[in-house]
Amino acid sequence: MEIKTFNTEKGIIEDKKVKSIFKRKYRGIMYNLKNRIQDQLISPGHMVVRKKFQTNKYVPEPIEEVMKLKSPVFIPTISKKHETLKNEKIKIRNTRIITIEKVNYSGIIWCPNTENETVVARRNGKVFITGNTPFTNITMDLKVPDFMKNEPVVIGGKLMDRTYGTFQKEMDMINKVFAEIMLHGDAKGRVFTFPIPTYNITNDFDWDNDDHRKIWEMTAKYGIPYFSNFINSDMQPEDVRSMCCRLRISNKELRKRGGGLFGANPLTGSCGVVTINLPRIGYISKNENEFFGKLEYLMNIAKQSLEIKREVIEKFTDRGLYPYSKFYLRNIKKSEGKYWKNHFSTIGLVGMNEALLNFIGKNITTKEGINFSVKILDFMRNKLSEYQEETGNIYNLEATPAESTSHRLARIDRKKYPKIIIANMHDHSWPYYTNSTQLPVGFTNDIFEALELQDSLQTRYTGGTVLHCFLGERMPSGEATKNLVKKVFHKYRLPYFTLTPTFSICPIHGYLAGEHFYCPVCDKISETKDDTGKIIKDKDM
């Protein structure tokens, strides 16, 4: 999907694809850049696009740096009469922000990530231009992988005498320091939202290793990492490296991407993603045969579009329009004859919960709902196996994030089918469909209830999927966190999960465990604004 963004070098509006969307629960200080025509509400660390003094150039800067400026800040914006014009006709004007207010906020914060790291958005009817957050994920090995232990170290393109297996001590040092930095947060006790580390938990994982203590404490406090289950799932640690070899096995097997939440195995990934709108199928279908017939029809269209896209990007790569990818995938071209042969065509889904409500009248937390969800996922997997054998290209089934798609499809369906069941059905609420096969938003804070309900569904995906376990409070200790992760991975088969504890940030005292409307230390809040801008008179500081 493309959205409006701002080219800071040229000072013009341009369309850019959304690479990813960052979204999480947040309680703490936000910054409100507001005047008669502007109303930005941004979180700490967010990039503000401002005009450089005495120049016509624009620069993105962290809000904390902007706050240090002594004079008013000029930021670019769009007048209302130009909002619907084509990009080349949209005129940019600068507006002055005299004061930036700190406000307390509790709710969801989100931000799309684009190539030029800007986005044009609207709040309270006012259009604004702002920066965005780079999305970064890294996989951090806690021990030297078996396939690298005897490999010689490469420095500056040259092979050294020592192997990677001799540097376990250095690996421990790096992992420990990284976890310590993430554990402490920034100077004000706020969480570092990126990079997101992924840790692989294997059968021989040393649960009593003291070098891992900071990792568990970091998870207990902020819930930063993702954990990969190599203990009780059907994934293998060597998938991280051997994926390129594994892709050449029989076309009759639905090969799994494996080894990484974001499909970052060497020389592979997704060259296209299509998300199926399940709630509409559930609403317009009268019986199971019709339901699966419509699902197959849409999947066939998805396959055709993905095959066309694969052909197009292959031609573009051949012509040098993707120079970095052409170099990076050059060895795949030599061995397979095509640059993108090792890349998946991905089909995902959105709104399983609402599809069930519309079709069988029960949600995804019921036995009937889970059983029918499993039937749908198995049907989709089998179709992808057929596509794979038919085309010679690899396909996977993924719990696609569907951030903006979730709202867009729900909005379109509500307009076309007023009686369709969607999430957030109130007249003036923001409609959406529940992500993939996830539980309804706010259904439970019981982690084991969520695991029981999701385990059989999470294991059906052949691409990326993750279960977010919302705790509603902070974990009592790093030791308790370690024991929880250990229990989950030995008892359940889901491939990935992350813990999300609840915490608050006081502008004075920083990190506070749990949900707090007022700081229990100072128990005072100065003149505060909610997310609508309405002034709330509380206690004086």
Lowest mean pLDDT among 75-79, 87-91, 254-258: 254-258
Q: Are 346 and 274 in contact (CB under 8 A)?
A: yes
Give the model's pLDDT for residue 540. Answer: 31
Q: What is the CATH number of domain 2-131?
A: 2.170.16.10
Mean local confidence (pLDDT), 374-386:
97
Q: Is the pLDDT of residue 526 over 70?
A: no
Percent residues over pLDDT 90 in the chain: 41
Mean local confidence (pLDDT), 337-355:
94
Mean local confidence (pLDDT), 507-517:
78
Residues in the chain: 541
Give the model's pLDDT for residue 535. Answer: 31
Q: Are 266 and 340 in contact (CB under 8 A)?
A: no
Q: Which residues pair with 47 in a beta bridge?
A: 62
Give the model's pLDDT for residue 538. Answer: 32
Quote the DSSP letter at residue 438. Answer: P
Which residue is listed with tokens 């690899």? 394
CB atoms within 10 A of CB 164: 20
Cα distance between residue 498 and residue 471, in whole Å? 10
Cα distance between residue 167 and residue 89, in whole Å? 58
Lowest mean pLDDT among 81-90, 104-113, 207-216: 81-90
User: Which tens digit of pLDDT belongs to each residue from 468-485?
Assistant: 888 877 788 999 999 999
Higher pLDDT pick, 510 / 307: 307
pLDDT band at 86 (very low <50, low <70, confident <90, very high): low
Q: Is the pLDDT of residue 18 over 70?
A: yes
Q: Identify the H or E element spanning 79.
A: none
pLDDT band at 250 (very low <50, low <70, confident <90, very high): very low
Give the model's pLDDT for residue 380. Answer: 98
Cα distance between residue 135 and residue 110, in whole Å? 12
Which pTM does this prediction carry? 0.71
Mean local confidence (pLDDT), 331-348:
91
CB atoms within 10 A of CB 492: 22
Residue 216 token pair: 């568990």
Lowest mean pLDDT among 24-33, 193-202, 312-321, 362-371: 24-33
Q: Are 116 and 14 in contact (CB under 8 A)?
A: yes
Q: What is the DSSP track for 135-178?
A: --EEE--SS--TTTTTSEEEETTEEEEEEGGGGHHHHHHHHHHH
Q: Are 354 and 402 in contact (CB under 8 A)?
A: no
pLDDT band at 254 (very low <50, low <70, confident <90, very high): very low
Cα distance between residue 255 and residue 268, in whole Å? 13
Mean predicted lDDT score pLDDT of the chain: 82
CA-closest candidate to residue 359, choices 432, 283, 280: 283
Cα distance between residue 349 and residue 93, in whole Å? 41
Q: Is the pLDDT of residue 123 over 90?
A: no
Q: Is the pLDDT of residue 429 over 90?
A: no
Mean local confidence (pLDDT), 438-451:
90
**SS3 for 68?**
coil
Residue-range domain boundaries for the chain: 2-131, 136-260+442-506, 267-398+401-435
Residue 528 token pair: 């505060």
Helices (H), 257-402: 278-284, 288-318, 323-328, 330-336, 352-359, 367-391
pLDDT band at 81 (very low <50, low <70, confident <90, very high): low
pLDDT band at 240 (very low <50, low <70, confident <90, very high): very low
Q: How far is CA 130 from CA 47, 51, 76, 186, in A?
A: 7, 12, 9, 22
Helices (H), 229-318: 239-246, 278-284, 288-318
Cα distance between residue 210 and residue 172, in whole Å? 10
